[in-house]
Amino acid sequence: MSQINLVQSLNRSIDQLMAQDERIVVMGEDVGRDGGVFRVTDNLLNKYGDERVIDTPLNELAIIGMATGMAMYGLKPIAEIQFQDYIFPAFDQIVNNVAKMRYRTGGRFTVPLVIRTPYGGGVKGGLYHSQSGESYFVHTAGLTVVTPSNPYDARGLLVSAYKKNDPVIFLEPKRLYRAVKTEVPDELFEVEIGKAARLKEGDDVSIITYGSMVPTVMNAVEKNGVNAEVTDLRTLLPMDVSAIIQTAKKTGRVVIVHEAPKTLGVGAEISALIAERAIDSLLAPIVRVTGYDTPFPYSHEELYLPDEKRIMSAVNRVLAY
């Protein structure tokens, strides 16, 4: 076991996977000599050479296009998009080719591709380095979308993503890269894709969250002594519907927290699922605590991101209903 942060966990996991599987190719902008902007791929070029760790041009469409071809013909690419905000030039490739290749070829071709990308705010990146676009990909059939909130889950989910025979969007909350350390086994292991984690048991209110908001939620309930049940989704597509419904029925009060904009965010889908399957168990309206429906601000970042005060306001609202 090692006490490591999220960057170290991802780096060691990719390193170990590359050591055991020569089909893995890492590619992206500055992933080689510089080890990536956040140093997740640090030192991999020195160990595996420039045929397996490829510094690409600043062209996301080309990165995903090349990775798609490699994956279709037997390799296991791990492609990095430097910031999730930069992924949109490759959106056509991801939505119309990567996600649909198995379907359009009747299973003749699959795309076992992992697309890693840091997302979200909290690092003073401004509007083009801070967006949370998970809903775009959750809406796309054929993709798997995961987002770890800690080093342990990052390792286990990355291994599970690598083992899939279909494409995975692997969203890494950049604000947490070095913000937290946890015990992580030295050997490779899997965290099941599609299964949420119950981080805290409670009876009064259910808080459902994921990614960068997990530590914020946990700090809020622990500091304020709230008897809350906290669920970390970990996987956004497929979503752990049974875990969502179970906790909603248990407490009858639900708060959903994410930093992406509110309209058509993941919280809207969670709310709909609960309304369809557990509305008779609800004791109060479902409340969402989210980012705002605006471009991500630079100078007012702390006002945009959900914080402990906003979370506790929502919790108190549903408890008092």
pTM of the shown model: 0.96
Are residues 170 and 211 located together in one domain of the fold? no
What pLDDT, on a 0 to 100 scale, did the predictor assign at position 299? 87
Are residues 155 and 270 located together in one domain of the fold? no
Are residues 287 and 212 located together in one domain of the fold? yes
Q: 57 preceded by cis ω (within 30°)?
A: no
Q: One of 129, 139, 258, 300 is an active-site residue; which one?
A: 129
Q: What is the CA radius of gyration of the chain?
A: 19
Are residues 10 and 89 located together in one domain of the fold? yes
Are residues 108 and 238 located together in one domain of the fold? no
Are residues 33 and 145 located together in one domain of the fold? yes
Are residues 155 and 298 located together in one domain of the fold? no
- What is the residue-level pLDDT of the chain in tens, covering all 321 positions? 899 999 999 999 999 999 999 999 999 999 999 999 999 999 999 999 999 999 999 999 999 999 999 999 999 999 999 999 999 999 999 999 999 999 999 999 999 999 999 999 989 888 899 999 999 999 999 999 999 999 999 999 999 999 999 999 999 999 999 998 999 999 999 999 999 999 999 999 999 999 999 999 999 999 999 999 999 999 999 999 999 999 999 999 999 999 999 999 999 999 999 999 999 999 999 999 999 999 999 989 989 999 999 999 999 999 999
CATH number at residue 76: 3.40.50.970
Which domain covers residue 281, as residue numbers? 197-320
- Given the DSSP bridges, would you call strands 144-146 and 235-237 parallel, antiparallel or unpaired? antiparallel
Number of domains, the chain: 2
CATH number at residue 214: 3.40.50.920
Euclidean distance between CA atoms 117 and 132, whole angstroms = 11
Check: CB of residue 270 under 8 Å from CB of residue 245.
no
Q: Catalytic: 258?
A: no
Are residues 177 and 251 located together in one domain of the fold? no
The helix (run of H) or strand (run of E) holding residue 276 is helix 266-278
Are residues 278 and 213 located together in one domain of the fold? yes
Alpha carbon separation from 284 to 31, 200, 248 (Å, rounded): 48, 21, 11
Check: CB of residue 23 under 8 Å from CB of residue 112.
no
178, two tokens = 């070095």
Are residues 25 and 149 located together in one domain of the fold? yes
Are residues 238 and 170 located together in one domain of the fold? no
